[in-house]
Structure 1
Amino acid sequence: MNLLSLEYFLVAAEEMSFTKAAVRLYITQQSLSGHIKKLEEYFGCSLFDRGNPLTLTKEGLGLQQAARKILAAVADTEKEIQDIKDLRNGELSIGITRTRGNLYLPPILTKFHQEFPNIQLTIFEGNSQETETALDRAKIDLLIGYPPLSKNSMQSIPFWKEETVLVIPYQILVRYFPAEYRDILSGSRKMNLRDVRHCPVLAMDVETRLGRRFYEACGEQGFLPKVVLKAKSLSVLVPLCLNGLGIMVCPEVFLLPYRNQIGSREDGRVFLSPISDVFPPKDMCVNYLKSKYLSATARGFVRIIEQEKAQLAWNLY
């Protein structure tokens, strides 16, 4: 008995036709019949009742269940052996948006390299749509980002909640809320998205997830934002906001490099206001294809993210 004969037997058992099974396996019907005959000789019994239609005998049904287990065990063993080889000299590709890569990856990659010094890492940078497409086409192993829109084909492991905040330059607070800005800075006066409907806005392009949700939220609040500039990258908008050009909504993690310019008093260049009522916290996840085996290297990367997520507990307020 050999594994190839078991594989051929399972296909024949699924098709219940030697002709169809041979076509599916790209072999001749004579070759398939030879493999089935060898199995029957090995076990000393008939595996098929060769009537019309073709059916499995009781022995054939028993072998069908056993063959599935045997071949699954062999496949798992092959993967485990490949994992051992990969840990010695393997590769891992990770997709992430450009700005998030600068923020999330340094501590994670440092720890990963310490544990897996022989693994070659490749970072695929792009916008959300580009990285999701790369994962969907199996061009990368893992994607760090929001759960992809094509959720049916992908598995997501959450590791962090991203808060989206309203970012208001101090000079805009003073100009548009002259009688209230001190109460706003102290926290006694809460802000919401509708409060800033008259303020100049720096907006993400509507083609982006954040931009699309921002325009939707403004519509739900009953106003059209006064956009003075729009872009496809937060790395373009944040410095302009810090210089007072306009307000913006932004995931708080993108403000980490500028935390010394954020304050609740006049000493800060911008003020942050939570807007979770219209921008609920979103899961940041490690995403991978359900159909693709998750290697030991990839599992190690996920484990390190789980271990390091406490380091991501930034408090920007």
Structure 2
Amino acid sequence: MNERELLYVKTIADTQSISKASKKLFVAQPSLSQALQKIEDRLGTPLFIRYPNGVKLTLAGEKYYRAATAILKIYDELCNEITEINNLKKGKITIGITNYLAVYLLPKILPKFHEKWPNIEIYIHEDNSYNIEDLLMKGSLDFGIMHYESDDDNRSLKYEALCEDMFVLVTKCNHPMAKYAEKVEGLPYPVIDLHLFENENFVLLERDKRIRQICDSIFDELNFKPKIGLLLRNYETARRLASVGFGVTCIPFGYINISKGEYEADYYFIKGNIKPAWKTCVVINPKNYLSKAARVFIDLVKEYYKTNQLTT
């Protein structure tokens, strides 16, 4: 039993397919099948039940998989610890990050990191906040960069806030209700009463999206029931539709900067809700080893937010 064999079995189990595993491992499918057969022959028992459309672990396979996962994790931690001794001359970081933050933040951080530590391999996993939290719990990521509500955190994970953000209402330019907006000192956009838009169609994200859940919290707090005209998966699609008058929507204030240019819109802070709705944060699993390379990357992110006093 060696690292390669453990990885072969784990990858086949994760993908539930020898063909998919072979592509992920960059190993020819016949070679992978032969390697698996040799492992099973040596153990004297099959690890998988073969089906025409995939494979499933046997009872022995489940025990092997659990052991392989634990051993590979220990091996990875050992390699990372040795890499620290080598003063970051080599190593790897696996980062989970939400799509928006990847677009906004990575071009500002990755070049600086690579310039100082060119031999550190970086793997980026773009996903939603909930899946990032789940992968952190499983030990599949070194850390995550994401948004969260302070009342909605996973107590098994550690969240360190980088900045806070408010939500804004998005409408087409010169919307008829714009005349009711009020300027408030210290705010870059005027404030407007959400109830003025009770007859408007709202373009919102699906309920599994964290942006939507925060919007719903704001609506509940203000005792406002939006008339939902369309549900989407992407906030920028919602913003652009609102900008051309196809309803209105709500997005985080920080998202405005990345959206400027095409499809200009008007933005308003929501009366009665002028407070941070979510936070941008770095998330780690305290139970997992955090390499020096990961800590250095996190420090660069913190310094960037501190220097630029970002609200995203």
Q: TM-score, normalised by structure 2?
A: 0.64
| 1:161 and 2:164 aligned | yes
Aligned to 2:130: 129
Paired residues in the alignment total: 229
- CA distance, structure 2, for counterparts of residue 280 and residue 191 of structure 1: 14
Aligned to 1:272: 267
RMSD over aligned Cα, in angstroms? 3.0
More helix by share: 1
* Residue 186 of structure 1, CA deviation: 5.9
- CA distance, structure 2, for counterparts of residue 315 and residue 88 of structure 1: 34
* Residue 145 of structure 1, CA deviation: 0.9
Q: Supply the AA of the counterpart residue of 1:257.
A: I
Cα distance change, pair 277–137 in 1 and its aligned pair in 2 (3 A) = farther
Aligned to 1:199: 200
1:144-183 Cα distance to aligned partner (Å, 9 max, x none): 0134855322112211222221112125x22xx3xxx346
| 1:301 and 2:297 aligned | yes
| 1:184 and 2:181 aligned | yes
- CA distance, structure 2, for counterparts of residue 299 and residue 112 of structure 1: 12
Aligned to 1:47: none
8 Å CA contact retained: 1:94, 1:140: yes
Cα distance change, pair 89–285 in 1 and its aligned pair in 2 (3 A) = same
Unmatched runs of 5 consecutive residues or more in structure 1? 1-76, 263-268
8 Å CA contact retained: 1:86, 1:297: no
Unmatched runs of 5 consecutive residues or more in structure 2? 1-77
8 Å CA contact retained: 1:166, 1:248: yes
| SS of aligned partner of 1:145 | strand
Aligned to 2:244: 243
**Selected match of 2:286 from 285, 290, 309:** 290
8 Å CA contact retained: 1:201, 1:229: yes
- CA distance, structure 2, for counterparts of residue 223 and residue 276 of structure 1: 12
* Residue 302 of structure 1, CA deviation: 1.2
Aligned to 2:140: 139
Cα distance change, pair 295–206 in 1 and its aligned pair in 2 (3 A) = same
| SS of aligned partner of 2:106 | helix
Structure index of larger Rg: 1
Q: TM-score, normalised by structure 1?
A: 0.64
* Residue 78 of structure 1, CA deviation: 9.9
Cα distance change, pair 242–212 in 1 and its aligned pair in 2 (3 A) = same
Query: What are the residue-to-residue correspondences of 1:1-317 with 2, within 5 Å?
Result: 81-85=82-86, 87-147=88-148, 149=152, 151-171=154-174, 173-174=175-176, 177=177, 181-182=178-179, 184=181, 190-260=191-261, 269-275=264-270, 277-278=272-273, 280-281=275-276, 282-310=278-306, 312-313=308-309
8 Å CA contact retained: 2:83, 2:91: no
Cα distance change, pair 159–236 in 1 and its aligned pair in 2 (3 A) = same
| SS of aligned partner of 1:280 | coil
- CA distance, structure 2, for counterparts of residue 152 and residue 261 of structure 1: 40
